[in-house]
Amino acid sequence: MHSRLRFDPGLILPPVITNVFPGRRLALWFFIPLTLVTLWRSQHHLLASDGGAQSIAHIPLNDYSVPAAATIVGLFALWGLSQLILGFLQLLVLLRYRALIPLFYLLAVVEYAVRALYMPAFRSIPTTATAPGAVINTPIALASLVLLFLSIWSRSEAAS
């Protein structure tokens, strides 16, 4: 008798949140760089003088009035703050609440898929060059989807 992968909603929203990660180890190890990328992005958007709007995202701030450019930089800083909060939550999950890693992969899939699909189609932002995020959003969304499946595929089922 062989084991089939069955979806259990409790794997995404566990009834008891522990530090036990039952999924494949690869998904656990790849959660580390995802967390580090989130923390790096947050500090840059918070601390760079342009919030990364021009230096990374290639938004031509000089084409806007001073108040408009300041608003864009301020929005990037707020985005950095939200990324910092997410990064701290990811770090907390990694260090203390590993049972929530599948949920955080699901959040990553949604975030990066929306960035890759929705934003360019419906909310495009004029830039002078392709931003790194525009290039990596789809690969990170796809990788997060694969890692989500690996994070809910328990090692005991894989061994059966």
If you compute the radius of gyration of the chain from its CA atoms, what whole number of angstroms results? 18
Residue 30 has pLDDT above 60, yes or no: yes
Residue 2 lies in a domain: no
Residue 104 lies in a domain: yes
Domain that holds residue 50: 22-159
Residue 16 lies in a domain: no
Residue 80 lies in a domain: yes
Are the C-beta atoms of 23 and 152 separated by less than 8 Å?
A: yes
| pLDDT at residue 159 in the model | 45
**What is the enclosing helix (H) or strand (E) of 115?**
none
Residue 102 lies in a domain: yes
- Whose tokens are 């929306």? That residue is 114
Residue 124 has pLDDT above 80, yes or no: no
Residue 6 lies in a domain: no
| pLDDT at residue 158 in the model | 46
pTM tops 0.85, yes or no:
yes
**35-89 residue pLDDT tens:** 999 999 999 999 999 999 999 999 999 999 999 999 999 999 999 999 999 999 9
- The tally of domains found in the chain comes to 1
Q: Determine what percent of the chain is predicted with pLDDT higher than 70.
A: 90
SS3 143: helix
Residue 89 lies in a domain: yes
